[in-house]
Chain A
């Protein structure tokens, strides 16, 4: 245990700087977030029917390489604490009501980001009797991040751009 703590103090951090173009944006982020939200950005993630691939990459954002919290972005446990709803997957009929209720529990002003190819139009699940379609067919969407699943660096860049 002590060894790990000592290493943590002495070794260079694993977390990587953003690419230069994004780094400039990241600097603006702190100011923009404060200006618009009065605090940092709180995200509530909702899986509305995904295969779990997008969730894996969202988890990766919390690992030491991406360390999303250094930008003041964090995932919260309740939609009532959130500024932004991050929705993955095609919306299934069985999840539609849960998604609508989660959306209405997020206080205004709020953003919605649809994550992954399925969230755009249902992806390869479109047309099924069990699928409503993309996220925008249920709640208004501000930004779509493409990919199957989008890599963590792409998600991070997109969120930073959204705020800046």
Chain B
């Protein structure tokens, strides 16, 4: 019998069609959740704070049910990080932003707060910050160890973050990440704004997943308002989401190979990626399809010419991609770098609830589109590839397979596109409500929880990037590898900085 069945009782159909019932958790409930997380019978979907409470979203695999609990507190709450390492960074962020203290937490260092905001707990009761103390990195002990600090400004065109390597010779003994450099205070910016403004901010949480975020935000709002979205709009959303997945996977497959100095793959995949972005531009008027998904539907309909363009580009990719897969699979010097490198053990992937290709390359068979289905994916045919080897090579192969699946999905969507309206207007809630959105972005499951005022303004919003449960695993996979293989490991994860830092 699944654990915590009394707490994890909101079916996918329920939370996808109506407002969320808010369940108050007692201290005993909260402790039971900790035990279940430790046993691994449930997975953490999100942990965040609000005014006078902490909230928790859970998923019990195989049930198609989620649980949402809130624990009332003005000062502290029992730490779940004692039982589940995946909860530690979210708890540190809660303390930084709201001042709520996780009791007995194993790691009480600040996380997003670098002591530069000129205030403490900005989203709780702000107060003047004391002078910042230097950040204490974790130590490593042994003979002939040296440290290599990298970042926040990196050598390539990438987002900022700090990596502290402790190495023995070339071998990494410990990697510690320090993130939070691009913290923009998105939860604070969401408070008291209109749905339109909220959708714009949500779409700018992580640039490469702008479609996934906009869709998850729209889902949360529509669930809170129990709005029905026109079928054509749902299909167009899925079309955009698959184009986004395709573009990101193509770009990253090339970029990972480039980090092994195999530049030809980057050039070839980069060209394919560009054709996807141009098709998106032709069909939806924006290369990244930003601001195209709005609560109630989509902002722009697809013209017959746009559909034809997408068809043509997909056919072209379908012709050219197999040769690239063959090139990857037949280049021994490249496989020598990717096979066996950065291996993520399946038990770690499961314990952290790692989503996306990171989890699926390490045996975690979870894809929101199938596990907690949402329209129109319940009516489309696709496979969810899973492997168990968990190395850089496995993550590349999952992405290759997902490229094929997305090509198939795009063809199905364009062929079965229903007619009709593409947008309905949001009605006023009339009472305070909240809703949950969960969308499979290219990187994994994006969760958005939104609370609305009676007059339809956003009173609170939390956006949880899949990277929260992937970044800590990068620290684990690099151990015992050489520093030179870090770019390969890092790119094969491709975690988001902006989505994580919020």
Given contacts A54-B207, A128-B189, contact A63 B155 (CB under 8 A): no
Is A50 in contact with chain B by the CB < 8 A criterion?
yes
B448-502 residues with Cβ-Cβ distance < 8 A to A are 496-498
Is A127 in contact with chain B by the CB < 8 A criterion?
yes
Selecting from A18-26, A28-36, A91-99, A135-143, the interface stretch reads A91-99
CB nearest to A117 among chain B residues: B204
Residue from the list B119, B158, B290 in contact with A47, Cβ < 8 A: B158
Given contacts A59-B251, A78-B155, A95-B181, contact A128 B271 (CB under 8 A): no
- The answer to whether A3 touches B498, judged by C-beta atoms less than 8 angstroms apart, is no
Is B288 in contact with chain A by the CB < 8 A criterion?
yes
Is A58 in contact with chain B by the CB < 8 A criterion?
yes
Is A164 in contact with chain B by the CB < 8 A criterion?
no
- The answer to whether B188 touches A51, judged by C-beta atoms less than 8 angstroms apart, is no
How far, in angstroms, from A15 to B26 measured CA to CA in the complex? 63
Is B407 in contact with chain A by the CB < 8 A criterion?
no
- The answer to whether B182 touches A129, judged by C-beta atoms less than 8 angstroms apart, is no
* Contact indicator per residue, chain B 243-279, by CB within 8 Å of chain A (1) or not (0): 0000000010000000000001001101101100100
How far, in angstroms, from A124 to B198 measured CA to CA in the complex? 10
How far, in angstroms, from A58 to B208 measured CA to CA in the complex? 13
Contacts between chains A and B (CB distance < 8 A), count: 148
- The answer to whether A90 touches B157, judged by C-beta atoms less than 8 angstroms apart, is no
- The answer to whether B288 touches A47, judged by C-beta atoms less than 8 angstroms apart, is no
CB nearest to B205 among chain A residues: A51
B-side contacts of A62, CB under 8 Å: 270
Is A134 in contact with chain B by the CB < 8 A criterion?
no
Is B200 in contact with chain A by the CB < 8 A criterion?
yes
- The answer to whether A95 touches B160, judged by C-beta atoms less than 8 angstroms apart, is yes
* Contact indicator per residue, chain B 89-124, by CB within 8 Å of chain A (1) or not (0): 000000000000000000000000010111100100
CB nearest to A105 among chain B residues: B153
CB nearest to A49 among chain B residues: B182
> Nearest Cβ in chain A — how far from B118, in angstroms?
8
Q: What count of chain A residues pass the 8 Å CB interface test?
A: 49
- The answer to whether B182 touches A89, judged by C-beta atoms less than 8 angstroms apart, is yes
- The answer to whether A65 touches B271, judged by C-beta atoms less than 8 angstroms apart, is yes
How far, in angstroms, from A149 to B291 measured CA to CA in the complex? 12
Residue from the list B117, B184, B207 in contact with A90, Cβ < 8 A: B184
> Nearest Cβ in chain A — how far from B426, in angstroms?
20
How far, in angstroms, from A128 to B204 measured CA to CA in the complex? 14
Given contacts A50-B207, A92-B183, A96-B116, contact A55 B159 (CB under 8 A): yes
Residue from the list B152, B189, B251 in contact with A124, Cβ < 8 A: B189
- The answer to whether B181 touches A52, judged by C-beta atoms less than 8 angstroms apart, is no
A-side contacts of B152, CB under 8 Å: 95, 98
- The answer to whether A124 touches B201, judged by C-beta atoms less than 8 angstroms apart, is yes
- The answer to whether B180 touches A94, judged by C-beta atoms less than 8 angstroms apart, is yes
B155-171 residues with Cβ-Cβ distance < 8 A to A are 155-160
- The answer to whether A60 touches B277, judged by C-beta atoms less than 8 angstroms apart, is yes
Is B327 in contact with chain A by the CB < 8 A criterion?
yes
A-side contacts of B205, CB under 8 Å: 51
Is B330 in contact with chain A by the CB < 8 A criterion?
yes
> Nearest Cβ in chain A — how far from B474, in angstroms?
17
Query: Can you offer 18 A-B residue contacts whose CB atoms are under 8 A?
Result: A47-B158, A50-B498, A51-B498, A52-B159, A53-B210, A55-B207, A59-B157, A63-B271, A65-B271, A75-B157, A77-B155, A78-B155, A128-B185, A129-B188, A130-B122, A130-B188, A148-B204, A149-B288
The 5 closest A-B pairs by CB, nearest first: A53-B207, A128-B185, A63-B270, A77-B155, A130-B185
Seen from chain A, the residues whose Cβ lies within 8 Å of a Cβ on chain B are 1, 3-4, 14, 45-60, 62-65, 75, 77-79, 89-90, 92-98, 102, 123-125, 127-131, 148-149, 151
Given contacts A55-B157, A63-B271, 8 further A-B contacts (CB under 8 A): A4-B264, A50-B207, A55-B159, A63-B274, A93-B118, A94-B114, A124-B204, A127-B189
